[in-house]
Structure 1
Amino acid sequence: MTGNQRVPGITRIACLLLLLGIGGCAATKKSARSKDADYSLSEAVLFTSAADTVFADEFLYVYQKNRIEDTTVERSPESNQQAMEEYLDLYVNFRLKVKAAEEAGLQRRESFKQELAQYKEQLAKPYLTENRVTEQLIRETYERMKQEVRASHILIEVPENASAQDTLKAYQMADSLRALAQNGASFSMLAEQYSSDPSAASNGGDLGYFSALQMVYPFEKVAYSTSVGNVSNPVRTRFGYHIIKVNDKRPSQGKVKVAHIMIRPDSESDSATYQKARQVHQQLLTGADWNEMVERFSEDVSTKSRGGELPYFGTGNMIESFEDAAFALSAPGDISSPVKTRFGWHIIKLIDRQGLDSLEKMRPSLERQVERNIQAEVRQEEMVSSLKQESDYQANKANIAQAIYYLHAGAQAESAEPDRGGVLFSIADTTLEVGNFYDFVQEKQGALAADSVLAHQLYQDFEATTLLEHEKTHLADNNEEYRRILQEYRNGILLFDIMEQKVWSKAVEDSTGLQQYFENHRETYRWKERAEATILDAQSQDILETAKQELGEINEPLSDEVIAKIESTFNEDTPLALQIHQSKYERGEERSSVEAVIDQVTWEKGAYSRTENDRFYHILIHDVLPPKLKELDEIRGIVIADYQNELDQQWIATLREKYPVEINEDVLQFLGQQTEP
């Protein structure tokens, strides 16, 4: 780990790993070594200072996480031990700086609290039950996408907030229809007669093939879990109760991209429209140009200008007859016979077909769709169930029932208003009371009034919100990995802020100190021999010659405006036709492979030509500058970085003197053995 200058634009936490490398070894007192020692890493003290005590497991976690290991080189136990000791010295410096930040009270600043709170929110997400439920739903959805289901349904409509009596009546109706279907009655006839779905009158309840995310989640879940030929138990969705008959299941067909020619039906004769489509189809089969035929005959104005092309689509996204014809085409370029839909007659050409993408490629899209279409319907129930199991949940069912009853019964309640101090449930060391629930309702809807269904939903929301907030609050207590990561971020913010005060800003703002540092190290900053040159880098000899003619005789470096104008002219059609490089090139410095051509010519004033890697170069050396001392204005950034290094070393020495460090050498030796290959 190297470098301690502040890097422009670097994030605070990205700085953490860089800052662990802030250097300088200082004399450190080490305790005597015991050859036969054995330790519990969580109890063994690795080092102490007047400001800190660090245990072995804490250091080992950071060391193993942050070290960069070259696996191509076999390292000896001695070299591993040395690497650990070097890292420990850096880590000690890091801890001393964090302690200095704490003593300066930086952790009490409002800006620190806000920044840490933001990181805490982000860091917690992967560890929360809510996220685990989302991940389960994503994987479940992807697995279902591998299969398509064809099903019919009968819907008995009932509103979500219907009374208990109406809900029961709808359920019983659905259940009786299921019994009829199981006893041999025609499912399609039952759908035509009883289903609230208007389309059932014409399709007998047949929904065609569908895949995951194309139906509401409870419907999808039951359809995928019901065997082919079977009828499900009634399933409740926001539309009412459904019974589902699964007609078929097949592997996913993936997606296709097609183009089409659409001919709208004649107002008097569909036969005439079909004959026109048939003639167009025959001309295509005998070699007519597809795009010309689209332009002449297609009546789909939205696709006519792009050769009839439609976006990729999968099962359930198009009218069934169109979809079936498209998926029946096997090779790109294949053309279907005329296919009828309610829009007219279509001739379809296959452009491409794709299988199901990998889970990782689909993950961003699936996550958005799951959160939008599924999560709200299932997350709360599954999340609450999980959290109850993990958090020592204890409920007072009588108080819960009374609180919900009074919420919707109000003045008409047959029993007295419940005591606001009555316990509803407890989670570990936290107790939630009736008053907490009513405060939640008041805040959410502004009044303590609700019908029966809403009152139950409000309680479920209160319970879920409370459980999730408790999990977030106690996450660091219950999850060691999260606690360690959060501590790293906390210390990283403090380290960044204290470095800003003690090193970075000080070096930039202390112009007198910077000048003095520069004068004291004047001999360190020297230019080697330099060539002031312009390099024309062309794609061909002809382009190079044309550029030379346009520029004319070049006796001195070109202005930025001239370079931009010339490059723009030559690169209008071909982006890399001509590039112009110009600088003062120092002898022996690292440079790009393109500009390295300067090292292949004699460093004397004049013009030179070279050909390298199929590129053609014209090199103009305007002047050769002898070695000399650098001026501060030429290298201010480099000098500031070096001055920061010196300030940092001085500060570390001060901290080491203020907080003497004692390392338990036998524990360090023991840790080295734990990391040996």
Structure 2
Amino acid sequence: MIRFFLVLNLLVGSVNFTIAQSIDSENLMTIGGETISVKEFLRVYNKNIDLVQDESQKNIDYYLNLYTNYKLKLKEARTLGFDKKDSYKKEFESYKNQLSKAYTTDKEVTETLVKEAYNRTTSEVKAHHILVRIQPGQDTLAAYEKIKALRSRMVKEDFTSLRTALHDGKSVFVEDLGYFSAFKMVYDFENAAFNTPLGQTSKPFRTQFGYHVVKVLDKRPSKGKVQVAHIMIANNQKDSTLVPENRIKEIFRSIQEGDSFESLAKQFSDDKSSAAKGGVMNPFKSGDIRSEIFVNTAFGLKEIGAISEPIQSQFGWHILKLISKTPVEPYEQIKVDLEQKVKRDARSKVIRQKMLEKLKQQYTISQPSLESVVAKIQKNDADDTWEVEASMEPQVFLKIESQELSYRDFLDLLNKNKRSFKASTGKSKFISNQYALFLGNNLFQYKKNNLINENEDYANVLKEYEEGLLLFDIMENKIWKGAQLDSIGLKSYYNENTSKFKSNSKITATIARSNKKKKLKAVKKMWSQGFSTDAISQKLNERDQALIFSSGDFEIDSPLIPKNMVFNKGISEIYSLDDNYVLLNISNIETPQILSFEDAKGAVISKYQSVLESKWLETLRNKYPIVINEKILSDLKKSIKTE
């Protein structure tokens, strides 16, 4: 799925047009004999244009050139047989099956399940549970009897004692699940948890993991989401002299002195994913982060902008700043997201059954008499297969509209699932169950195969899948891998363009930072007099912790260094940085150096790929003649009106 979206980033978005009906069906151009209509061109343009930030690139001529390059690559991919490869066919069918699910669901049932999920999103359940795992081939009755006995103990006994006595992490799990809401557990488990009254223990129930019982300890309205910024000093530090607790306290004092939280986060936080954003994290719910103290502290902040005392989690030391608190969004606002989640979990089985009932009404079906089928099909115990008389195998067994399925098709399913047959259940029951599966599978398959004729939106999206996969494959084959494997070409390109591949300038320095300029004046004086950084810190931080020192190698675009700084060895001037001041003591300056081929290889490959692509497109333009209907293009430009 990932590589598909890498390509189709060029094919999403929307814009509204008023298009003269007279040219909608006209041919705009041909590429290598392939005709492209105005309608087809605009469909793709419509999906791409909103992503274009530069207004000049929304020009029809500019986009037509991009589109032509796109179609040339696809033309070459088909000429070379990329669409005939087994790997392509397999992946395309996988996408097709996934896409068709959106067009083969019962919307009414889906909405009912979505509303149920929403109601469970607005509340949280706290629970303990016991799980007795069931391994393949294991006696399920024994597991069921065991969970029944453990339920009795769960009702009566202390949870901690019970966990100590029973939990082995293999066959029996006794766990405190904390608070959770919809979609955090498998659907059957979720149903048991939300339907069990407060303080009660559920009856045993089964999921794919085994048999469970769940005890509901609390039910409460959801707290919604909270968003915080944080500064984290990790528990484990490369610098053995840096004590995380001391550093976080220094930073906290700086905040109290008026320093910018965002600036401190950018400079000192070890959570690099949020540091660049001033420490701002993505919004989260109660069960999203595995640190109770972090979650409780975040939700415990009352006012926007409030800052917590330093806390320690299993990850390190943190200071939190409240950015926002958001209650659970209104139903209409998150309906689409919930619908996608519903279709991905076990709720989809309910949707499938309802859709199956509709398909039985939509299509003409000629079904066999099950009584007759049971009589005709026999089990060959000698080789453990199901069979009919040889003359019957090609005969029509089931007909859906014009599609015919033979007895052989049904026997294939029976023999595929023969292990599920149990003599104790009986032949009739087994064949009846398998026929229901056979009918359902083929009804859905018929629907999927005909969607391209029944639904234009589906046909268009499917085409985008197809073209996206082809484009990725040929680009990977002709450009991306080609550039990486062309060692001679890469070396030659590097040698001809060495000036393009330089290292960043670096300095070795100690940086003093404070929100008080007079502090840095004192530092400058003491550095000039030969005092060590440790001595200065001890002296000037005696009354307050307004000074923070950082030592090491820094690239000149580091957030710790002012943008307008002039670099010279020795003690610098005092510069403003965000809402603070900085002073540098520079011991070494490393100017940009030409990178070796090995060090620059990633950048060389990237630039060389662009060169190869340009040359390749030039070849394709010569190979596949491009003819543009200039009159239609002119009419098209006049008819487009963006809103």
| TM-score of the superposed pair, with normalisation by structure 2 | 0.52
CA contact (8 A) 2:366 2:400 kept: no
Q: Deviations over 1:145-178 (max 9, x none)?
A: 7999xxxxxxxxxxxxxxxxxxxxxxxxxxxxxx
Spell out the pairing of 1:550-569 with structure 2 (5 A cutoff).
Answer: none
Spell out the pairing of 1:274-423 with structure 2 (5 A cutoff).
Answer: 358-359=330-331, 376=349, 378-379=350-351, 381-390=353-362, 392-396=363-367, 399-403=368-372, 406=375, 423=396
Shift of 1:424: 5.3
Shift of 1:479: 3.0
2:641 match: secondary structure:
coil
Structure 1 pair 67/448, CA: closer, same or farther in 2 (3 Å)? same
Q: Deviations over 1:405-441 (max 9, x none)?
A: 6379999xxxx99966665543233123455445433
CA distance in 2, matches of 1:579, 1:143: 49
2:50 match: secondary structure:
coil
Spell out the pairing of 1:251-266 with structure 2 (5 A cutoff).
Answer: 255=220
Spell out the pairing of 1:394-473 with structure 2 (5 A cutoff).
Answer: 394-396=365-367, 399-403=368-372, 406=375, 423=396, 425-445=398-418, 450=426, 455-473=431-449
Letter in 1 for 2:114: R
Structure 1 pair 39/114, CA: closer, same or farther in 2 (3 Å)? same
CA contact (8 A) 1:84 1:672 kept: yes
Structure 1 pair 362/94, CA: closer, same or farther in 2 (3 Å)? closer
Letter in 2 for 1:141: E
Letter in 1 for 2:358: S
Percent identical: 24
Shift of 1:38: 5.5
1:532 corresponds in structure 2 to 507
1:58 counterpart = 2:40: yes
1:667 corresponds in structure 2 to 632
Q: Deviations over 1:222-243 (max 9, x none)?
A: xxxxxxxxxxxxxxxx9xxxxx
Residue in structure 1 matching 2:468, options 492, 503, 506: 492
CA contact (8 A) 1:404 1:459 kept: no
1:84 counterpart = 2:56: no
2:7 corresponds in structure 1 to 16
CA contact (8 A) 1:539 1:578 kept: no
2:98 corresponds in structure 1 to 122
1:426 match: secondary structure:
strand
Spell out the pairing of 1:20-169 with structure 2 (5 A cutoff).
Answer: 39=22, 41=24, 43-50=25-32, 52-68=34-50, 83-129=59-105, 132=107, 135-139=110-114, 141-142=116-117
CA distance in 2, matches of 1:516, 1:16: 29
CA distance in 2, matches of 1:420, 1:363: 46
Shift of 1:668: 2.6
CA contact (8 A) 2:507 2:588 kept: yes
Letter in 2 for 1:638: A
CA distance in 1, matches of 2:486, 2:117: 59
CA distance in 2, matches of 1:47, 1:37: 18
2:568 corresponds in structure 1 to 604
1:324 corresponds in structure 2 to none
Letter in 2 for 1:606: G
Shift of 1:129: 2.6
CA distance in 1, matches of 2:219, 2:638: 53
Shift of 1:520: 4.0
Shift of 1:654: 0.9
Q: Which has the larger radius of gyration?
A: 1
CA contact (8 A) 1:404 1:456 kept: no
CA distance in 2, matches of 1:407, 1:216: 44
| TM-score of the superposed pair, with normalisation by structure 1 | 0.50
Shift of 1:386: 1.8
Letter in 1 for 2:355: M
CA distance in 1, matches of 2:38, 2:462: 19
Q: Deviations over 1:80-130 (max 9, x none)?
A: 9x6122111111111111222222233333333333333333333322236
Letter in 1 for 2:104: L
Q: Deviations over 1:548-596 (max 9, x none)?
A: 99xx99x9xxxxxxxxxx9xxx9xxx9x9766674453xxxxx46x245
Structure 1 pair 476/15, CA: closer, same or farther in 2 (3 Å)? same
CA contact (8 A) 2:396 2:406 kept: yes
CA distance in 2, matches of 1:50, 1:537: 66
Shift of 1:646: 1.9
Letter in 1 for 2:369: I
Structure 1 pair 616/134, CA: closer, same or farther in 2 (3 Å)? farther
Structure 1 pair 493/404, CA: closer, same or farther in 2 (3 Å)? same
CA distance in 2, matches of 1:110, 1:650: 29
1:502 counterpart = 2:478: yes
CA distance in 1, matches of 2:571, 2:121: 66
CA distance in 1, matches of 2:90, 2:598: 39
1:46 match: secondary structure:
strand
CA contact (8 A) 1:540 1:615 kept: yes
Structure 1 pair 216/395, CA: closer, same or farther in 2 (3 Å)? farther
| Root mean square deviation, CA, Å | 5.6
The aligned length equals 423
CA distance in 2, matches of 1:531, 1:140: 57
CA distance in 1, matches of 2:392, 2:422: 15
CA distance in 2, matches of 1:111, 1:216: 38
Shift of 1:597: 0.6
CA contact (8 A) 1:13 1:493 kept: yes
Q: Deviations over 1:593-648 (max 9, x none)?
A: x245152x333222224353344533234456778877656644434333222221
Letter in 1 for 2:578: N
Q: Deviations over 1:451-473 (max 9, x none)?
A: 66655444322211111122233
